[in-house]
Amino acid sequence: MTFDIVTIFPAMIEQPLAAGVLGRAIERGLLTVKVRDLRDFTTDRHRVVDDVPYGGGPGMVLKPDPIFRALDAIEAERGRPSAVILTSPQGARFTQADAKRLSRVETIVVLCGRYEGVDERVRERVTEEVSIGDYVLTGGELPALVILDAVARYVPGVVGDEDSVTHDSFSRGLLDFPQFTRPPVIRSARLSAEPDSERELTVPDVLLSGNHAEIRRWRKREALRRTLERRPDLLAGAKLDEEEVEILRALQDDRMAGTQKVGE
Ligand code: SAM
């Protein structure tokens, strides 16, 4: 799978990609990422990429012609890209489902906006406009990295254990269950509200029991409990098996009973 990222700050993309899971995936040829400096597609001596907005107002706007030339160059090299993504706070909110969908396409171009954004006419060459959340960043480089990272995790071989991707939060419409690792007990005075006393933080017994059926059920219950507490909106679209439906019903009954007690 190939990503072409068009930006005026190539270093903001290249440096984070030098390390970690993505760095390894690139090294192993599972992903090709080419960062294109928008200034290379200008034709003037000063390599100008921005201009004042028509109609006045604050800030600058990225000019359309260097972006069109960058897209033409990418298309000449790779053929028509499967997706041309414009990063924009005005786009559709990026989700795990989008990451999975995009991981199945061959060539993705990501355009990083800056300043007040890009000239509106650029949208004619864009297949989707993507926001990573309801806040405004200074540029599209961090969103491009977020999109690339989330999509790459679905590319076979990128994450060592593919099972971990299918269990991740959002993959099935549920948040992930809590994770623990060694040591089994942590003792610390700092965790205690009482002076001169220690508090123990332990790992749930079931995880130390070696009983895999019990562990599997505990994890299902905890994933459902977390989702119910923190993101109940996700449950409407979650794909639950029979056991999970039964666990969820029990958790909801418990909550109802708890709520009634408080209100009694
Ligand atoms: N004036 C624009 C607006 O209000 O929609 C904001 C421009 S922002 C300062 C500059 C660039 O950062 C945008 O063109 C876009 O590429 C990127 N950007 C900022 N916030 C983003 C977000 N939440 N999701 C995706 N891209 C974002």
Please tell me the predicted confidence (pLDDT) of residue 263. Answer: 56
The catalytically annotated residue of 168, 176, 178, 226 is: 168
State how beta strands 107-111 and 83-93 pair: parallel
Q: Rg (Cα) of the chain, in Å, rounded?
A: 24
Look at residues 229, 220, 207, 227 and name the one whose alpha carbon lies nearest to residue 247.
Answer: 220
* pLDDT, one tens digit for every residue, the chain (264 residues): 999 999 999 999 999 999 999 999 999 999 999 999 999 999 999 999 999 999 999 999 999 999 999 999 999 999 999 999 999 999 999 999 999 999 999 999 999 999 999 999 999 999 999 999 999 999 999 999 999 999 999 999 999 888 888 888 888 899 999 999 999 999 988 888 888 889 999 999 999 999 999 999 999 999 999 999 999 999 999 999 999 999 999 999 999 998 766 556
Name the token pair of 62: 């990225």
Name the token pair of 77: 């090299």
The catalytically annotated residue of 89, 172, 221, 222 is: 89
Ligand 1 atom nearest 113 alpha carbon: 16
184 is catalytic: no
37 is catalytic: no
pTM: 0.93
The answer, yes or no, to whether any atom of ligand 1 lies below 6 A from the CB of 142, is: no
Q: 2-166 falls under which CATH superfamily?
A: SPOUT methyltransferase, trefoil knot domain (3.40.1280.10)
Q: Which residue stretches of the chain are H helix?
A: 10-14, 20-27, 64-78, 96-102, 141-152, 162-167, 205-208, 212-230, 242-263
Pick the CATH number of 185-263 from 1.10.1270.20, 3.20.20.70, 3.90.550.10, 2.40.50.140: 1.10.1270.20
Segments making up each domain of the chain, as ranges: 2-166, 185-263
Look at residues 228, 243, 93 and name the one whose alpha carbon lies nearest to residue 173.
Answer: 228
Please tell me the predicted confidence (pLDDT) of residue 172. Answer: 87
Look at residues 44, 39, 88, 45 and name the one whose alpha carbon lies nearest to residue 66.
Answer: 39
Mutate to test the pocket of ligand 1, among 84, 136, 147, 149 (most ligand atoms within 8 A of CB): 136
Please tell me the predicted confidence (pLDDT) of residue 258. Answer: 84
Distance from Cα 145 to the centre of ligand 1, integer Å: 14
